[in-house]
Structure 1
Amino acid sequence: MKILITGTNGFLGHYIIEKLISCNHFVIATSKGANRLTFAHPNFIYEEMDFTNEKMVNTIFTKHQPEYIVHAGAVSKPDDCEKDKPLADKINIDGTAILLNASKKYTAGFLFISTDFVFDGERGMYTETDAVNPVNYYGDTKVKAEELVKQYEHTWSIVRTVLVYGKPFNKRNNILTVIREKLENGETYDVFNDQVRTPTYAEDLANGIAAMVEKNAIGIYNICGEEIYTPYEMAIATAEFLQIDTSLIKKITAKDFAQAAKRPLKTGLTIDKAKNDLGYKPVSFKEGLRRTLE
């Protein structure tokens, strides 16, 4: 199957491409700007594409006529969305609408990558059917994009995930690699201990996405880890793995540190549906940590 992926120069892109190619799909990787991927494979091609540019999107779709779209591109930093709401709207909402419209012409399946930040964080461990109630603008744009996806007339699916980590590609760091850099430089690191998450190993997320594509899954699926951690606990585990003094890790709360975007305190997602429907089985956080840092 010909699968077009957006946002492939981002952190997650490498993992998704690698997994889909291993499943014998032909991947059309797209991103804004030059190719920063290191793939060389007969089932891989890169096309520069700004998915907020309707003309460019239609040109690429006409050229390749994809059968499935994995929409991973987004402004995903909550503070950036809060500081520039028109840009967040343009990329996260309007860009999704442009892609859906182009996909419709080819009756292509459409998979949208969303977030746990669609929830308010009042209780945590949300299911796919729980009511959304974002507390920041990033979550709000994702909710609005989800609504557009749900109106798509062909096969659609939404993946909600949580705090993704893994080996960095294209110098795209994530929470664990940022912590490692700080600690190895002997710097202290302030990290939240009042936020609860179910952190997601990037390879697991890619495996879940591939399973959804293979099974032509429809609807919303939570794809994340199943163990509950605070970012502080993740940082302590990282320091212990690296055998670095844990006293460099400083525990803070949302009250101690001002951020442009409010964060939901308790998210975390239940993955029973993904386990039952897709055979999804994430690695333990300890194993994901090892694979990330070794």
Structure 2
Amino acid sequence: MKILITGSNGLLGQKLVKLILDKGNDELIATARGANRLPYSEDNYIYDKIDITNRDQVLTVIKSHQPDVVIHTAAMTNVDQSETEQDDCWKQNVDAVSYMIEACEAVDAFLLHLSTDFIFDGADGPYDELAAANPISFYGESKLAAEKLLLASNVKWAIARTVLVYGIAHDMSRSNIVLWVKKSLEEGKQIKVVDDQLRSPTLAEDLAMGCYLIADQRAEGVFNISGKDLMTPYEMAIATAKFFNLSTATMERADASTFTQTAKRPPKTGLLIDKAVKDLGYSPRSFVEGIDILVRQMS
């Protein structure tokens, strides 16, 4: 199988590249906007630059490589930035998907698109794949619009919805809740952590495996690919502190109204993963197991 990944420099992209290279069964084309930041020799895969907002470039790259499967991870994922830079958000999250669909139709490739729990309003989570979407942020609106493009297309497609992805990647400055809590408590900083939002924290390696299972089986349709635990950020912080045996004396629980954020967040989402477990054989780690994996990677 020949797999092309967009956004290969990102967290999920890096985990997918490592997973596919470790398996050693597939041809791999890694693509991203800039220079290759992957910590792997290009002897075992091809790297190609691609600007997903450039239609001609998308068509040229995909037609030249003729992949069997495209895993589209590239997107604008910063929720507040999406709210303030709506034109750029739409170009990256919606227009780019239309170009991917056109290119995949041209070469008869299977298209796997990454989506999010933020397409829901968070009024009655956790959600299964059939739940009605009702986004409350521009980011959520853009991701739902992209899903609708796939539903209306003639391409063979799948959508992998995920939640609060955490992990460690090469040459990336973005932190995650585990590292932030650990560092803050070790330094004795006063921190406030939200306790009125519900999420399914997702280890990046688990998300990569879920995507690979979909791609390998050419499983069409919508799949929730997330962690198996439903937790508030405060519960995640407590679990992190307990894992590292850190005092929580400087940590305070807070509700979301105490924070000033540009974009609204759905209060309680979380995803139900029964379909992915049953149909794909998906088996994510628990949040505590995920922390252990991060610790081993850090060392």
TM more than 0.5: yes
2:206 to 204, 208, 219: 204
Match of residue 57 from structure 1: 58
Alpha-carbon RMSD across the aligned residues, in angstroms, is 1.4
Give, in angstroms, the shift of residue 6 of structure 1.
Answer: 0.9
In the TM superposition, what are the counterparts of 1:51-130 in structure 2 within 5 Å?
A: 51-130=52-131
Contact 1:177-1:293 within 8 A present in 2 as well: no
Deviations 1:192-244 (A, max 9, x none): 11100111111111111111111110000001111111111111211222222
Q: What aligned pairs does 1:165-244 form with structure 2 within 5 A after superposition? A: 165-171=166-172, 172-244=174-246
Moved more, 50-59 or 185-194: 185-194
TM-score normalised to structure 2 length: 0.94
| Distance in 2 (alpha carbons) for counterparts of 1:162 and 1:257 | 20
1:290 alignment partner, one of 285, 289, 292? 292
Partner of 1:273: 275
CA contact (8 A) 2:128 2:224 kept: yes
SS of the residue 2:118 aligns to: helix
Which residue number in structure 2 is paired with residue 255 of structure 1? 257
Amino acid at match of 1:75: M
Structure-1 separation of matches of 2:211 and 2:272: 16
Note if contact 1:21-1:43 (Cα within 8 Å) is conserved in structure 2: yes
Partners of 1:180 and 1:59 in 2: CA distance: 45
Offset, 1:182: 2.6
Q: Conserved in 2, the CA contact under 8 Å of 1:11 and 1:170?
A: no
Contact preservation (8 Å) 1:88, 1:138:
yes
TM-score, normalised via structure 1 length = 0.96
Deviation at 1:289, TM superposition (A): 1.1
Distance (Å, rounded) in 2 between the aligned partners of 1:158 and 1:194: 28
- Contact residue 39 and residue 170 of structure 2 kept, 8 A: no
Once the two structures are TM-superposed, the CA of residue 158 in structure 1 deviates from its matched residue by 0.1
Quick check: 1:21 aligned with 2:21? yes
Post-superposition offset of 1:50: 0.7
Structure 2: which 5+ runs fail to align? Answer: none
Deviations 1:99-134 (A, max 9, x none): 111111101000000001111100111010111001
For 1:187 and 1:257, the matched residues in 2 are separated by 17
Rounded to whole Å, the distance in 2 between the matches of 1:39 and 1:180 is 29
8 A Cα contact 1:168 1:177, kept in partner:
no
Amino acid at match of 1:9: N
> Structure 2: which amino acid aligns with 1:54?
R
1:147-179 alpha-carbon deviations (Å, 9 max, x no partner) = 111223131000001111122332242222232
* Count of residues paired in the alignment: 294
Q: Distance in 2 between matches of 1:244 and 1:185?
A: 10
CA deviations 1:62-104 (Å, max 9, x no partner) are 3211121101011111101111111111110011111111111
Q: Distance in 2 between matches of 1:248 and 1:8?
A: 38
Structure 1: gaps (5+ residues)? none
1:41 CA displacement: 5.4
